[in-house]
């Protein structure tokens, strides 16, 4: 097994004036290629904080984090941006589509940052959109889509760069249970196709779907 | 990516027309006024130059200060010949006398005709050509002959049927004097305070002996040599006369070139002033742009966060906002240029000048407004690029 993520003693503190908020108090784990992992835990336990670190949106206060063999804990903003672009596909609870762009343009954006020629961008974006079943909405703007459709666009956008790692922070948190279920089915399919997926959730359904679960409590892993 | 950013920026502007328009207003007004005034300036200079080349730029006139009795005795008819002798750049110099008279032929009459007392060289100095007959000769002058050459309008009024040559016109002041018409001038546009078409010309000596006694001349008309620098010749005349008279207050040496030079001087002062106005308006406009860009960065914090999450590096975000600021100021500059050109075109056609847009000013205005975008867009752009991705993403 090849570990895609190796975390050693990951610490993330937030300094709020005189108070230090200890969001992560030292977590160790590794995640292998092709795994589908659920991160569970009560509100405020540090799930999102951990996802931001894994997603290279944030850097740890202490500890080591290796992603796909690269030690990212000491990377600068520019290098982190490169890792995010090439290796990570992020999916958020709030979809986070770019409101002024249509579906195709949204999905093409990460490819633009990867400096892929416009022609190829379009082809690849269309493929990704087809994969999530939204080919008939390609010129629609985000406000013209339902929540479930928006999340599918976000998934297409995460997939389009063929990332090493797909991260989803409560991807069904803003959806009704039926729509949420169909999104989860999509994730399951993506996992079956060989993608490595890490998902934060409160949803027991997701929990039961993932073979591996990491339980966080107060910034520490209590069960893995 | 730059192209896409420009496209995105322009798309955004058209969505937010009012705000975009207002934020560009400073730059539009600044650039428009600069383009208008510089274009009017160059059109004015161009029109003056065009007039001068038509009238001939080699004519110099020495005007005498009226009522300066202490120096009057120096300005004799003979001084013309003396100047011609002393200053190498002079081709010909003649004294002029002038007065306003009533002219009659039969029942036709014309009030307020300027009658000039001139010498033979007059027609050559002012490049006048004859429509009928001949011009006055030195023999006419020496003989104080009662002969007259008419300007085109004078001839038309007195001789509606044409054919003035050989007829006798009467010139009235207190009493009538009869003059034989020996020639009619072609129509000629006004220059140096001479209205050729509404004037008539008689020999200098005839003028002072028959029409108006006078020991001093009215003015001197001087033709420079074809290869001479008219401005230098004017200066030589000035030096010569100052040396003779002892003061430069008694006369004024004027040539079309001095007028052109004056016009150019005024235009360049105007352009200098405008440079200041332009700088101020562009700075004010730029501050407006900076303000709108700062607002835009705050409004789009979430967008910046998303773009960063998708892999946009700080450099990429910075250039996105810079491109946006430059697109804004460049569009403002372009709109200003169009407005300015339209206004100056209207202005010149109202004044019936030739329309000579100042292309350099247009170019500079566009370059400058882009530069303003870079300068005032930089701070907001850097601010955007430095946003923390997580903070930006979770911004509500
Ligand atoms: N930017 C920040 N500044 C200060 N404290 C923060 C910041 N972000 C998170 N925290 C704190 O860190 C702790 C962990 O937050 P985190 O968002 O990781 O929780 P979570 O497990 O994702 O919770 P939820 O299930 O509600 O999303 C919380 O106590 C939170 O208040
Ligand atoms: Mg969370």
A219 alpha carbon – ligand 1 mean position (Å): 10
What would the pLDDT profile of B76-122 be if each residue is shown by its tens digit? Answer: 888 998 998 999 989 999 999 988 999 999 888 898 899 999 999 99
Q: Is the predicted pLDDT of residue B55 greater than 60, yes or no?
A: no
Residue B306 pLDDT: 96
Both B132 and B178 in a single domain?
Answer: yes
Q: Is the predicted pLDDT of residue A212 greater than 60, yes or no?
A: yes
Q: Which of B254, B274, B307 is the last residue of a domain?
A: B254
What would the pLDDT profile of B150-201 be if each residue is shown by its tens digit? Answer: 999 999 989 988 888 889 999 988 788 899 999 999 988 777 677 888 999 9
Do A148 and A175 form a contact (C-beta atoms < 8 A)? yes
ipTM (interface pTM):
0.95
Do B320 and A112 form a contact (C-beta atoms < 8 A)? no
Contacts of B266 (CB under 8 A, 6+ apart): none
Q: Is the predicted pLDDT of residue B284 greater than 60, yes or no?
A: yes
Q: What is the mean pLDDT of residues B202-231?
A: 86
Q: Is the predicted pLDDT of residue A69 greater than 60, yes or no?
A: yes
Ligand 1 probe mutation, A11, A13, A14, A218, most atoms within 8 A of CB = A14
Both B310 and B193 in a single domain?
Answer: no
Contacts of B128 (CB under 8 A, 6+ apart): B122, B135, B185, B186, B188, B196
Tell me how many domains chain B contains. 2
Residue B56 pLDDT: 61
In angstroms, the first-to-last Cα distance of chain B is 28
| Residues of chain B above pLDDT 70, percent | 97
Atom number of ligand 1 nearest to Cα A52 = 18
**Which residue bears the tokens 């991807």?**
A171
Both B243 and B276 in a single domain?
Answer: no
Both B146 and B183 in a single domain?
Answer: yes
Residue B4 pLDDT: 78
Q: Which of B230, B254, B278 is the last residue of a domain?
A: B254
Q: Is the predicted pLDDT of residue A207 greater than 80, yes or no?
A: no
Q: What is the mean pLDDT of residues B47-51?
A: 71
Both B189 and B311 in a single domain?
Answer: no
Both B224 and B300 in a single domain?
Answer: no
What would the pLDDT profile of A87-118 be if each residue is shown by its tens digit? Answer: 999 999 999 999 989 999 999 999 999 999 98
Q: Give the residue numbers spanning the domain of B108.
A: 58-254
Both B185 and B40 in a single domain?
Answer: no
What would the pLDDT profile of A182-203 be if each residue is shown by its tens digit? Answer: 999 999 999 999 999 999 988 7
Q: Name the residue among B305, B310, B390 with its Cβ closest to that of A113.
A: B310
Residue A6 pLDDT: 95
Q: Find, among A55, A72, A59, the residue nearest to A13 by Cα.
A: A59
Q: Is the predicted pLDDT of residue A72 greater than 60, yes or no?
A: yes
CATH number, residue A57: 3.40.50.300
Record the pTM: 0.73
Among chain B residues, CA nearest to A93: B394
Residue A155 pLDDT: 96
Among chain B residues, CA nearest to A115: B1
Sheet (strand A36-40) strand order = A88-91, A165-169, A197-200, A36-40, A212-217, A220-223
Contacts of B47 (CB under 8 A, 6+ apart): B353, B354
Both B125 and B28 in a single domain?
Answer: no
Q: Which of B254, B282, B310 is the last residue of a domain?
A: B254
Q: Which segment of B34-43, B83-92, B150-159, B315-324 scores lowest on mean pLDDT? A: B34-43
**pLDDT averaged over every residue in chain A:** 93
The three-point CA angle B35-B38-B42 to 5° equals 130
Please count the other Cβ atoms lying within 10 Å of the Cβ belonging to residue B37. Answer: 23
Residue B51 pLDDT: 67
- The minimum CA-CA distance between A96 and chain B, rounded to whole Å, is 6
Using CA atoms, how far apart are residues B219 and B95, in angstroms rounded to an integer? 6
Residue B189 pLDDT: 78
Q: Could you tell me the pLDDT band of residue B54, with boundaries at 50, 70 and 90?
A: low
Decide whether any atom of ligand 1 lies within 6 Å of the A223 Cβ: no
Tell me how many domains chain A contains. 1
Both B66 and B193 in a single domain?
Answer: yes
- The minimum CA-CA distance between A108 and chain B, rounded to whole Å, is 10
In angstroms, the first-to-last Cα distance of chain A is 18
B211-229: b or e for each residue (b if 16 or more CB lie within 10 Å)? beeeebbbbbbbbbeeebe
Residue A223 pLDDT: 79
Relative orientation angle of helices B78-86 and B230-245, to the nearest 10 degrees: 120
Do A176 and A203 form a contact (C-beta atoms < 8 A)? no
Q: Give the residue numbers spanning the domain of A133.
A: 5-223
Both B293 and B248 in a single domain?
Answer: no
Q: Is the predicted pLDDT of residue B66 greater than 80, yes or no?
A: no
């Amino acid at each position: 097994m090849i570990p895609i993520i190796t975390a050693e003693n990951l610490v993330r503190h937030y300094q709020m004036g005189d108070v230090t908020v200890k969001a992560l108090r030292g977590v160790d784990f590794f995640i292998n290629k092709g795994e589908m992992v659920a991160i569970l835990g009560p509100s405020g336990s540090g799930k999102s904080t951990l996802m931001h670190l894994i997603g290279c949106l944030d850097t740890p206060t202490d500890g080591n984090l290796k992603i796909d063999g690269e030690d990212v804990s000491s990377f600068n903003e520019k290098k982190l941006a490169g890792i995010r672009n090439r290796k990570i596909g992020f999916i958020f609870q709030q979809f986070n589509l770019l409101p002024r762009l249509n579906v195709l343009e949204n999905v093409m954006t990460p490819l633009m940052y990867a400096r892929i020629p416009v022609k190829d961008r379009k082809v690849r974006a269309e493929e990704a959109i087809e994969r999530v079943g939204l080919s008939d909405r390609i010129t629609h703007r985000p406000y013209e889509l339902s929540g479930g459709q928006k999340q599918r666009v976000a998934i297409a956008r995460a997939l389009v760069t063929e990332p090493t790692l797909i991260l989803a922070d409560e991807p069904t948190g803003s959806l009704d249970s039926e729509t949420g279920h169909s999104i989860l089915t999509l994730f399951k399919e993506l996992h079956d196709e060989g993608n490595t997926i890490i998902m934060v959730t409160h949803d027991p359904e997701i929990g039961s779907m993932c073979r591996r679960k990491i339980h966080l409590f107060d910034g520490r892993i209590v069960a893995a | 990516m730059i192209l896409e950013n420009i496209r995105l920026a322009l798309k955004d502007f058209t969505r937010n027309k009012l705000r975009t328009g207002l934020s560009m207003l400073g730059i539009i007004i600044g650039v428009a006024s600069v383009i208008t005034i510089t274009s009017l300036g160059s059109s004015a200079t161009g029109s003056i130059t065009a007039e001068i080349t038509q009238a001939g730029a080699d004519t110099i006139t020495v005007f005498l200060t009226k009522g300066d009795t202490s120096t009057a005795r120096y300005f004799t008819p003979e001084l013309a010949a003396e100047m011609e002798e002393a200053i190498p750049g002079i081709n010909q110099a003649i004294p002029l006398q002038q007065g306003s008279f009533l002219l009659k032929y039969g029942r036709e009459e014309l009030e307020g005709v300027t009658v000039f007392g001139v010498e033979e060289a007059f027609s050559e100095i002012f490049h006048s050509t004859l429509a009928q007959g001949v011009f006055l000769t030195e023999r006419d002058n020496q003989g104080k002959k009662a002969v007259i050459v008419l300007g085109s309008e004078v001839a038309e009024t007195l001789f509606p049927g044409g054919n003035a040559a050989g007829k006798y016109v009467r010139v009235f002041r207190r009493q009538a004097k009869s003059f034989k018409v020996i020639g009619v001038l072609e129509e000629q546009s006004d220059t140096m305070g001479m209205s050729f078409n509404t004037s008539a010309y008689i020999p200098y000596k005839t003028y002072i002996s028959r029409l108006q006694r006078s020991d001093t001349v009215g003015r001197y008309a001087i033709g420079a040599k074809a290869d001479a620098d008219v401005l230098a010749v004017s200066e030589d005349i000035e030096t010569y006369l100052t040396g003779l008279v002892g003061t430069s207050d008694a006369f004024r040496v004027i040539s079309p070139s001095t007028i052109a030079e004056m016009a150019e001087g005024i235009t360049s002062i105007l352009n200098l002033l405008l440079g200041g106005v332009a700088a101020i308006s562009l700075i004010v406009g730029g501050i407006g742009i900076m303000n709108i860009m700062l607002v835009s960065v705050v409004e789009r914090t979430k967008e910046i966060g998303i773009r960063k999450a998708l892999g946009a590096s700080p450099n990429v975000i910075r250039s996105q906002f810079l491109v946006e600021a430059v697109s804004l100021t460049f569009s403002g500059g372009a709109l200003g240029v169009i407005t300015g050109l339209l206004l100056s075109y209207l202005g010149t056609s109202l004044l019936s000048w030739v329309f000579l847009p100042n292309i350099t000013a247009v170019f500079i205005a566009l370059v400058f407004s882009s530069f303003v975008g870079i300068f005032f867009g930089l701070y907001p752009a850097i601010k955007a690029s430095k946003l923390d991705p997580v903070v930006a993403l979770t911004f509500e």
